[in-house]
Chains A and B, each alone.
Chain A
């Protein structure tokens, strides 16, 4: 193996303990005979492994829990509907959006307006002219009740649903 290939292994599979035994032996032979790669191996270990061994776990400020607690106590459980998340994202910069009751009222108003605007025209030929197709359940959409709740196993939180 050339020095370049050896150094690639030193930076990846060797450093991360992924080399097969046969590769490990070839590498050892090369290192015995090559000062440059031997030095490189030492630098790689000291630079790329050692500092991280002392990495510590940090603690978030207490206000994070206070905020989480407030939000989960205040908000209904099933609210990870993408439409709602999208609307929430649109509304969030507005100060008014920080009042849950106002947001709800706003959402209901939007839903009603949408329902009214999307209603088929009524030409006055009796009740039978009104569409009998299954009505869209706007309330369900807004509360997330229409959601086909998929498996919680995957990365399907609302954060990911609308960011990914």
Chain B
């Protein structure tokens, strides 16, 4: 996770917009990528990123450095993204199919490199699409963002056993999905 200097956070907390932009530039990628992987949708991820940074700007004066700033920001982002998925599912009455192009289109990777990475990026998108939002969040936090079970439990406000069982079910699904794909390919 990116580290933001203490004095930048303090300046932003006092309303320094330039300092806040430094925070945004340092952390927007983390917030957006996490939101995108959890929500499946570029528009939703952009909306979550925007709402998270506005909320953070307003809450900065009361941030007391009891945890690291980026951990705090990351937790807010994950929960905002999950809430966005739930809200959208309620509005539409169903889970929206995973936007596979999402990952391909909004990337910071140079074009030549992007071509080589394409299969992996699509594979990740397809795998995440196969999961329900709760399972997806656990996989993103564990496999992509590298959080421990305990950190995931704190972030998602669930207990460690639930983290473990969600990961287990998610991974069973992913293995079954890959097995089907391999069978089809043969």
Q: Residues of A at under 8 Å CB distance from B?
A: 8, 11-13, 15-16, 18, 43-44, 47-49, 51-52, 54-61, 63-65, 67-69, 71-73, 75, 77-80, 149-153, 155-160, 163-164
> Are A52 and B63 touching (Cβ within 8 A)?
no
> Are A8 and B20 touching (Cβ within 8 A)?
no
Q: Which of B80, B106, B178 contacts A60 (CB 8 A)?
A: B106
Instruction: With A16-B142, A51-B120 as known contacts, state yes or no: A61 contacts B46, CB within 8 Å.
Output: yes
> Are B32 and A68 touching (Cβ within 8 A)?
no
> Are A67 and B59 touching (Cβ within 8 A)?
no
Binary interface encoding of chain B residues 91-116 relative to chain A, with 1 for a CB under 8 A from any of its CBs, else 0:
00000000000010011110000000
CB-CB under 8 A from B66, the residues of chain A are 151, 153
> Are B83 and A159 touching (Cβ within 8 A)?
yes
Residue in A closest to B179 when the chains form the complex, CB atoms: A43
Instruction: With A12-B167, A77-B58, A152-B60 as known contacts, state yes or no: A157 contacts B76, CB within 8 Å.
Output: yes
Instruction: With A58-B32, A65-B21 as known contacts, state yes or no: A159 contacts B171, CB within 8 Å.
Output: no
Instruction: With A64-B28, A71-B54 as known contacts, state yes or no: A56 contacts B76, CB within 8 Å.
Output: no
> Are A59 and B79 touching (Cβ within 8 A)?
no
CB-CB under 8 A from B3, the residues of chain A are none
List CB contacts (< 8 Å) of B59-81 with chain A: 59-64, 66-67, 72, 75-76, 79-80
List CB contacts (< 8 Å) of B130-160 with chain A: 142-144, 148-149, 157
Closest 8 CB pairs of A and B: A152-B63, A152-B62, A157-B55, A60-B32, A153-B66, A52-B143, A163-B83, A59-B108
